[in-house]
Amino acid sequence: MFDDKFVWGVASSAYQVEGTDPDDGRGKTVWDTFTEQGRIFQNQNAYTSCDHMHHYKDDYALMKNLGIKAYRFSLNWARILPEGTGRVNEKAIAMYRDMILTMKENGITPYITLFHWEFPQALQEKGGWLNEEVVDWFGEYAKVVAENFSDLCEYFITINEPQCVVGLGHLSGVHAPGLKLSIPETFQIAHNLLKAHGQAVINLRKYAKQKIRIGFAPTGGVAYPYTDSAEDIEAARKVYFGFYNPMDNWTWNISWFSDPVFLGHYPKEGLEKFKEYLPEITETDMQLIHQPLDFMGQNIYNGYYVRQGADGEPEFVDREPGFPKTACNWPVTPKAFYYGIKFLTERYPLPLYITENGMSCHDNVSFDGRVHDNDRITFLDSYIGAMQRAYDEGADIRGYFLWTFLDNFEWSEGYRERFGMIYVDFMTQRRIVKDSAFWYQNVIGTNGGNLSTNQTTKEILFLDPVCTHNIWGGTRLREDFHYPVEGDDLWECWGISAHPNGDVTLRDCGFRGMKLSELWKNIRKFSEMWTVTVSHS
C-alpha cells in the first residue's frame, strides 16, 4: 500500500470543463477558433461543456464527499489576460480565487497548471509559439498568476503535454491551432516552449508570496519490455528515451522535452539526428530552460512492446490478437505504467507525480439510474496496482491524479469520449456518480489497500459438505436442502468445517481434493484470504 503522505487527486483543464458566460470578460482562445472552423467531432464546442464555472461549488463538495484530496486544474490564460498580455481580467481573478478558496474549504489541495492548451487567439495572430516573444508573453502571464494566486496555492505546473502542443497543434494539425508547419518550424516552437517554461519558473518564484513548489508535465507512450529479461528491459529503455519515430511524428518523444528541463541539456542522440532541423541553441537558452524544479509530472496512458532483436538492437513487437482496448481504441497496458514509472525515476532526479492517467469508457446510465463502469474500475485497479509495484520497489512517486473528474469536452473528439468518474448529462448538467468514483473513494480511504494486488487471492472455495447418518435422523437434509445423499437416517451436515468429525473437502478450485483442515494448517491467514461457498448440489 501507499503511505499516508501519498497524494490522491483528480485532474482537469479549464477549457474542457469551465464553459463561458456573456459577461465573463475572457478572451478568445485558439480552441474557440478551431471549433468555429468546424474541426471538432460533429461541430461540437466547449462554450457550455460542464458549465463548471457556475457549478464548481457543488463539484468541489462532491469531490469532498468522495474523499478526493487534491485537484490539478488549469487556468485559462485567455480568461486572465484576454489579449494574452497587458490588461488583466479582474472577473477571472475573482473567480479563480473563489474556486481555490472553495477547494481548500473542502479539504482539497489545489495544483495549478498554467497552460493546458488555452492559448490566447490574440497572441496566435502575432505568430503564437513560433514567435520567440512567446517567452516573454508566458513569463508575464506567470507573473500575474504568482501575484494573484500564490498566497492561496503552493503547487504549480508550468506546461501540460508539450508533445501534444507541438505535434498535434503544429505538425499534424489535429488540435488547435490546427497548423501543419515544416519540421524546422516545429523544432523552433518546441525550443520556444521550453524557454517559456523556464521563464515562467523564474517569474513564479520571483513574484510568489510564499514558498512554492513547481513542476512540469510532459507525456508520451511507454516503450516497455516484451519479457522481463534484462535484454528486453534494456531495449525498451533505449527506445523510451531514444529517437525511433519517423520525422513526421518526431514530437512523441520523452528525452527531447524532459532532458533539457530536468538535466540541463538536449540528448546527444537527438542533437545528431535532428541537426539539420534545429534552430540556434545557445548556452543562455539552456540555462533558461534548466531552472530548479521541485517535482516532475508525467501523463501516462499506454505503451508498446519492445524486445531485443537477434542483432542486439531493439525491435517492436505486435500486440497479441484481441488485446484489450478502451472506448477510444487506446491499448490497455498496465505493465507499461510500471515500466514508465521505473524508467523515469531512474533517469531524472526528482520526485514523480502521475499528473494524468485514466480511460474513456462507453458509459451509459443504467435502468437503475446509475453508471456501472466496471471496465474503468478494472483498468484503474491494474494501473494503480502496477504503480504500487514500482512504488514498493523504491520509485520516488509522490502522487496520482486520475483523469478525469467530470466527463467533459475531449478536444477534437468533442463529447464522444467519456473519461470522467462523474457522468455529465450535457443537456441538463446533471451529475451522476459512476461506480468507479466510489471505488476510487475506497482506494483513497485505504491508501490502495483495496487494490487486487493487495489481496492475496480472491478465489472462491467450493466445499463438499459431510453429511452424517444417525439412527434417529430423518430426510430433511435431502428434501429441504437437496443434498444428494441416500438413506432416511441423516441428521447432521458439516457444511464449513475442519473438525475431525466433519472435515469437508474442497472442489472446483486450485486446492481441489484437499481437506479444509489441511488448508487451515498450511495457510494460517485462511480467514482473510478466501470466500467460502457451501455446495448444495
Q: Is the dihedral of CA 167, 168, 170, 171 positive or negative?
A: positive
Nine cell digits for residue 102: 472553495
Query: Residues forming the annotated binding site for substrate?
Result: 16, 116, 160, 301, 403, 410-411
User: Quick one: which of 378, 375, 390 has its CA closest to 337?
Assistant: 390
- Asked if residues 295 and 398 have their Cβ atoms less than 8 Å apart, the reply is yes
Q: Which residue shows C-alpha cell 517535482?
A: 295
Closest among 502, 520, 498, 519 to 510, alpha carbons compared: 519
Question: Which residues, 6+ apart, have CB-to-CB distance to 467 below 8 Å?
Answer: 477, 483, 485, 490, 492, 493, 494
For cell 505568430, name the residue. 127
Distance in Å from the first CA to the final CA of the chain: 40
Number of Cβ atoms within 10 Å of the Cβ of 526: 15
Enter the C-alpha cell of residue 64. Answer: 469532498
Active-site residue 269, yes or no?
Answer: no
Is 161 among the residues known to form the active site? Answer: yes
Q: Annotated binding site: which residue ranges?
A: 16, 116, 160, 301, 403, 410-411
Whose grid coordinates read 471496465? 375
**Marked catalytic residue, from 18, 185, 356, 417:** 356
- Residue 11's nearest CA partner among 452, 325, 357, 321 is 357
**Residue 178 cell numbers, joined:** 490546427
Determine which one of 118, 161, 185, 417 is catalytic. 161
Spatial separation of the C-alpha atoms in residues 31 and 269, rounded to whole Å: 35
Amino acid code (one letter) for 64: K
Where are the alpha helices (H) located in 208-333, listed in sequence order? 230-240, 255-258, 268-273, 283-289
CB 474 within 8 A of CB 491: yes
Three-state SS at 457: coil
Q: Just list the catalytic residues.
A: 161, 356
